[in-house]
Structures are given as structure tokens and as C-alpha cells.
């Protein structure tokens, strides 16, 4: 197994890509800590994944909650080998209608959160550690009404480049995972009805060169690669898993 005896921490590990990553990590031998805001979602994730999973109720945008996550992991294991920052959301808001609240919520969760999660986990990491920030292929694209979302995801690209330079003497790697359109809860929240959601799925699928949406297991496989020694010569990189949508 590629992640045997590894300790992993995943934010936003209760649904969609985050849940698939957590399950794949456990299947590959890792012991996984997941955290999210909703207890019922955490309980369901534990039920789906089964063993070697520890849930922590915490908000990835709150530094005090991140401190508590670190404390739980430190007391339980004393170290961490893999950190995956995955928590996120999408709200389509035209530039003229963006509010300070929308901007702050977007950047607090998807830029500030990943930076401080990484900072706070670093003392528990040793050489060979892997940091994976889940971004979006959208940071390569110009998609209307996504200023805050795409901007926050673009910040993550800069983070891993910077950290690759900062970590060069530590043996710790930092990489980006940029998914394209996947049928996750984030996409579901953009539709008001089942019919709207089906139409949205069709719209995105027709835009992807491979003419389909991604499967969360495909993103999880990329995360396993980035977490494992198979990617030991990669740092500061962006692994784009988007069916080619960002290239057209």
C-alpha cells in the first residue's frame, strides 16, 4: 500500500472530492483525520469510510479551530505526514454585486485557511511530508461571476510555488491539485432544482473535451500520487485533473 503508516489530515473531507481522497488514503494504508463544520456530515463520512478515520468538528476558516485540530493530531499521533486543504464553496456573483461578506468568506476559507492550516501543521511534519492544496482549474480560466472564488484558488498556486522555495532544505513538498468540473455538493448548490442540476451537468460536460464530468475517484487517485513517494521529485507543481477544460 502506497500510504502505509502515514498520518494524513484533510479539511473538507466529508463530501465530494475530499471524501473520496479520505477514502482512498485509508484504502492505501493511511490513518486519516478529517475535519469539517457539521457533525452529521462527519458522522456519515466515518460510516462510509469505515476504519482508520478520526473526525474533528472544526471550521477550516477559523484559526482557533485549526489550533484545536493540530492539538488533537499532536496528542493522538505526535506527527503528520500528509496535509490536504480541500474545504471550499462556490457562489456565482457578478463583480458589480460582490459584497465584503462574500469576499471575506471566500478568501477566509479558500486562501487564509489553507495558509494557516499548513503553517500550524509544519511543526508536526518531517522530511518526506507532503502538502496538497486543492485548487481549481478555474484559476487558469476566465469564467464570469467567479472573481472571489477564482482569485482565492489562484492564491493557492502562488502559495505552493513560494513554499517549494521555503521548504527546499526540509524535505517537505507542497503541490497543487486543480480539479475541473465534478458532480459534487459544490456544484449541486449552484442549482435550485433537479432539472437545473441536470442541465448544469450537461452544460459542463459539453464544454469538457472528454465530454463528461470527472469522477471524484479520479481526483482522489491524483491526490494519492501527490501524497505518496511516487511523486517524490515534485514540489511547487500543479496537477490539473480537468478533462482538458482549462486548455480550450
In contact, 68 and 4? CB cutoff 8 Å: no
DSSP 168-187: TTTT-EEEEEEE----SHHH
The answer to whether 149 is a known catalytic residue is yes
In contact, 69 and 33? CB cutoff 8 Å: yes
In contact, 164 and 118? CB cutoff 8 Å: no
- Contacts for 105 with CB less than 8 Å, ≥ 6 apart: 61, 89
DSSP helix/strand/coil, 83: strand
> Across the strands, what pairs with 146?
93
Q: How many residues does the chain have?
A: 248
Name the CA radius of gyration of the chain, rounded.
17
Q: Exactly one of 103, 140, 149, 207 is catalytic; name it.
A: 149
DSSP helix/strand/coil, 99: coil
- Which residues are the active-site residues? 149
Amino acid at each position: 500500500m502506497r500510504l502505509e503508516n502515514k498520518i494524513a489530515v484533510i479539511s473538507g473531507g466529508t463530501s465530494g472530492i475530499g471524501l473520496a481522497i479520505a477514502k482512498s488514503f485509508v484504502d492505501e494504508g493511511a490513518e486519516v483525520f478529517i475535519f469539517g463544520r457539521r457533525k452529521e456530515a462527519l458522522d456519515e463520512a466515518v460510516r462510509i469510510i469505515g476504519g482508520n478515520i478520526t473526525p474533528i468538528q472544526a471550521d477550516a476558516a477559523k484559526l482557533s479551530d485549526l489550533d484545536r485540530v493540530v492539538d488533537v493530531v499532536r496528542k493522538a499521533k505526535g506527527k503528520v505526514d500528509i496535509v490536504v486543504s480541500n474545504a471550499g464553496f462556490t457562489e456565482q456573483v457578478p463583480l458589480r454585486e460582490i459584497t465584503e461578506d462574500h469576499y471575506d468568506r471566500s478568501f477566509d476559507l479558500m486562501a487564509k485557511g489553507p495558509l494557516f492550516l499548513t503553517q500550524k501543521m509544519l511543526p508536526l511534519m518531517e522530511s518526506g511530508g507532503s502538502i496538497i492544496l486543492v485548487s481549481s482549474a478555474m484559476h487558469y480560466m476566465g469564467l464570469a461571476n467567479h472573481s472571489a472564488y477564482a482569485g482565492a484558488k489562484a492564491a493557492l498556486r502562488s502559495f505552493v510555488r513560494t513554499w517549494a522555495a521555503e521548504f527546499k532544505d526540509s524535505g517537505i513538498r507542497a503541490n497543487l491539485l486543480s480539479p475541473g468540473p465534478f458532480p459534487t455538493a459544490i456544484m449541486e448548490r449552484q442549482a435550485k432544482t433537479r432539472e437545473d442540476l441536470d442541465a448544469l451537468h450537461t452544460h459542463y460536460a459539453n464544454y469538457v473535451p472528454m465530454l463528461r464530468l470527472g469522477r471524484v475517484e479520479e481526483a482522489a487517485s491524483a491526490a494519492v500520487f501527490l501524497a505518496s513517494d511516487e511523486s517524490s521529485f515534485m514540489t511547487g507543481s500543479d496537477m490539473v485533473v480537468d478533462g482538458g477544460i482549462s486548455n480550450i
